[in-house]
Structure 1
């Protein structure tokens, strides 16, 4: 069951051929983890969504406040029997039907879809995880690239490429040939006591987990966090590479081409991340 504009209903009766998210990618989404009814980092997700709606010139209804959407997410979890479990929530907002490239309205609708997750806490996987660069297409270093919109064709094609080449993920490049992010999250590169991640100006997603990790790292005196462009050459020299997103938390990379990596920093950060969640 999904939540469509506050009504719990079957998912099969929603999509119209005139849906602007389907027809033009005129939609935004938030992927959120919940644990036993608690919405993790909800305030950050909400404010990112509101900022993104303003950038796309969507009308934000007066009732579209944090409390309203939180209530609708919890209603959807309850309708699917996921209040006492961990779940993946996808909150999609799309401009209402009408018009071609130029919409007839800036009003919008929302859909909330939920699915169960196996893990209640963030864990660091010890499994082999190999990545390489995806160089068929490039990300534009612009503000739109930092938004979580339905325009994810590069990520889809890159995911197919990864599967065809027996990779677990790929790292994407922008038009300046800098490493921007992974197909499903932000990238952090560790060398010595320096932890580097790409700046938003390079076109990386304004990730919620990226934000949490930056806050955690800046409070650890042994490490220095730098938001700076990452060259592909740096990957070969790194001690550790990890990927972050709101569902997995931290995914260590074990191999990039012929280079293998440790996961020491990943393990440290995942512990601090779980403590942050318990205290929030």
Structure 2
């Protein structure tokens, strides 16, 4: 079942026009959300990021889009799919209504919500060997738009194809200044001695929900120093650990980059604290 503009319909009936602006121009934003037993994790963070994304894209936010309304729309869909007592992945997409070409005829929006079951209610540590490489064919431009989850994901798609063709688990993306900003599907963290480092939003990395939660956790740990600074590709092989974060997998440790192999001790420590934080959200 799918929620299409407030109506829960069978997936086969949830059709969008070929003139839909999300399809035609990538004129859409979305949130990927994790729900556990009908409870939406980090809901306030997701809601305000969605509203901020719509404002940046100059979309008209409907007066009905209160936190309570949007949350209930998601919960109704979870119930319709039999996922009220299960872990689930939810995608909430908002698109500008059709009309016009590059210049839209309206800033009014429509939305579609989908949900599917996840395998575990908790964040688990993936111990499978995980190797990454730089994706250098295309760059992400630093700036405000790169921090927003829009449908314009050509670099991520091409990077994913490159990773698959070359047997890498993931790729790391660069901005126009050749700084490493993130992975294809999440934010990047480096650990060197007792310093945990991640790129700043001004470099063009996504303003990830889990990125924010890891920052909260690390700031409370007296044994570690948190640094938000640009990361040079030359730093990667000097790190003790590297890991990727996103709201679905939690923390994904990187085991190898080129000739360097990495530990996972800090990632495991943070994952434990993240699961505690998730239960309290």
**What TM-score, normalized by structure 1, do the two folds share?**
0.99
Taking only aligned residues, the RMSD between alpha carbons, in angstroms, comes to 0.7
Deviation of the 1:12 alpha carbon: 3.3
Deviation digits for residues 74-98 of structure 1 (CA, Å, limit 9, x no counterpart): 0000111111100000000000011
| Paired position in structure 2 for 1:8 | 8
| Paired position in structure 2 for 1:175 | 176
Deviation of the 1:11 alpha carbon: 2.7
Stretch moving more, 18-27 or 5-14:
5-14
Partner Cα distance (1:35, 1:251) in 2? 20
Deviation of the 1:279 alpha carbon: 2.5
Deviation of the 1:188 alpha carbon: 0.2
Matches within 5 A, 1:93-242: 93-242=94-243
Stretch moving more, 10-19 or 107-116:
10-19
- 3-state secondary structure, aligned to 2:237: helix
Structure 2: unaligned runs, 5 residues or longer: none
Partner Cα distance (2:279, 2:60) in 1? 35
Partner Cα distance (1:48, 1:122) in 2? 22
Deviation of the 1:123 alpha carbon: 1.2
Partner Cα distance (1:277, 1:105) in 2? 38
Partner Cα distance (2:228, 2:198) in 1? 5
Partner Cα distance (1:278, 1:245) in 2? 16
Partner Cα distance (1:157, 1:215) in 2? 32
Deviation of the 1:127 alpha carbon: 1.1
Deviation of the 1:277 alpha carbon: 1.8
Deviation digits for residues 141-197 of structure 1 (CA, Å, limit 9, x no counterpart): 011011000000110010000000000000000000000000000000000000000
Deviation of the 1:125 alpha carbon: 1.2
- 3-state secondary structure, aligned to 2:277: helix
Once superposed, which parts of structure 1, at least 4 consecutive aligned residues long, lie more than 4 Å away?
none
- 3-state secondary structure, aligned to 2:155: helix
Partner Cα distance (2:180, 2:131) in 1? 16
Deviation of the 1:16 alpha carbon: 1.0
Deviation of the 1:252 alpha carbon: 0.2
| Paired position in structure 2 for 1:33 | 34
| Paired position in structure 2 for 1:62 | 63
| Paired position in structure 1 for 2:249 | 248
- 3-state secondary structure, aligned to 1:237: coil
| Paired position in structure 2 for 1:50 | 51
Partner Cα distance (2:156, 2:113) in 1? 22
Partner Cα distance (1:169, 1:124) in 2? 16
Partner Cα distance (2:125, 2:225) in 1? 22
Partner Cα distance (1:120, 1:277) in 2? 10
| Paired position in structure 2 for 1:23 | 24
Deviation digits for residues 20-68 of structure 1 (CA, Å, limit 9, x no counterpart): 0000000000000011111000100000000111111100111101100
**What TM-score, normalized by structure 2, do the two folds share?**
0.99
